[in-house]
């Protein structure tokens, strides 16, 4: 893999792994911002606002400034929405169990906002994926929490892990549920001049 071509405003290993899966090596620079929704703020507006705030905040990170120029900075945020209620990361075991009981057997939405701050300015978008979880019983919820997997996941479950056993239906971007919609992210990065394909080395003529 080539040297870093962008900065990721996140400490999420999942987002780093998703970028690596499409051949992009990113420097990471976690930023601490207030993720509290504004009064009556729609979830789509919330994730875009937070993604943009992360991308802008990380742009001043020393790690994101190369020898020649500032690297494009990517920020992202994901929330789960059910019946208009926004589910972030669970505060504790009781909160995580409550979230899963609310989502059990029901259709909900996972919304991820992505922003890239680069030569073309700040550009952003959001992607919505529709998911239905099968009916969950209390023993499953308790056992799942005991794995430690739900602790830092929006909605209290991870589709890239054992939480996938709960998902009976998905419509939309699987990678967006993990944390980064790759198709749309690639479009934003290409717009900012990030090369997604490197030319194959030319072989010398005999």
Catalytic residue among 34, 62, 67, 77: 77
Rounded to whole angstroms, the Cα distance separating 64 from 75 reads 13
Alpha carbons 19 and 16: distance in angstroms, whole number? 5
77 annotated active-site: yes
Helices marked H in the chain — which ranges?
13-21, 43-58, 93-103, 138-146, 174-178, 182-191
Within 62-120, strands assigned E span 73-82, 85-87, 107-118
Q: How far is CA 114 from CA 29, 44, 179, in A?
A: 16, 11, 9
Of 102, 85, 100, the C-alpha closest to 153 is 100
Q: Would you please indicate which residues are annotated as catalytic (active-site) residues?
A: 77
């Amino acid at each position: 893999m080539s040297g870093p071509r962008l900065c990721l405003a996140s400490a999420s290993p999942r987002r780093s792994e998703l970028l690596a899966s499409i051949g992009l090596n990113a420097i990471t620079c976690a930023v601490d911002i207030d993720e509290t929704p504004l009064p009556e703020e729609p979830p789509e507006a919330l994730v875009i606002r937070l993604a943009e705030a992360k991308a802008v905040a990380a742009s001043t990170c020393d790690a994101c400034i190369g020898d020649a120029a500032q690297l494009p900075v990517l920020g992202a945020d994901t929330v789960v929405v059910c019946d208009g209620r926004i589910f972030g990361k669970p505060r504790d075991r009781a909160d995580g169990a409550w979230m899963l009981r609310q989502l059990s057997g029901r259709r909900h939405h996972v919304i991820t906002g992505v922003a890239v701050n680069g030569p073309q300015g700040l550009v952003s978008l959001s992607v919505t994926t529709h998911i239905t979880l099968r009916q969950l019983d209390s023993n499953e919820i308790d056992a799942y929490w005991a794995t430690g997997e739900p602790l830092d996941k929006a909605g209290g479950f991870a589709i890239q892990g054992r939480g996938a056993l709960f998902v009976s239906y998905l419509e939309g971007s699987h990678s967006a549920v993990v944390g980064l919609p790759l198709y749309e992210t690639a479009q934003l990065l290409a717009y900012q001049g990030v090369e997604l394909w490197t030319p194959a080395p030319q072989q010398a003529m005999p």
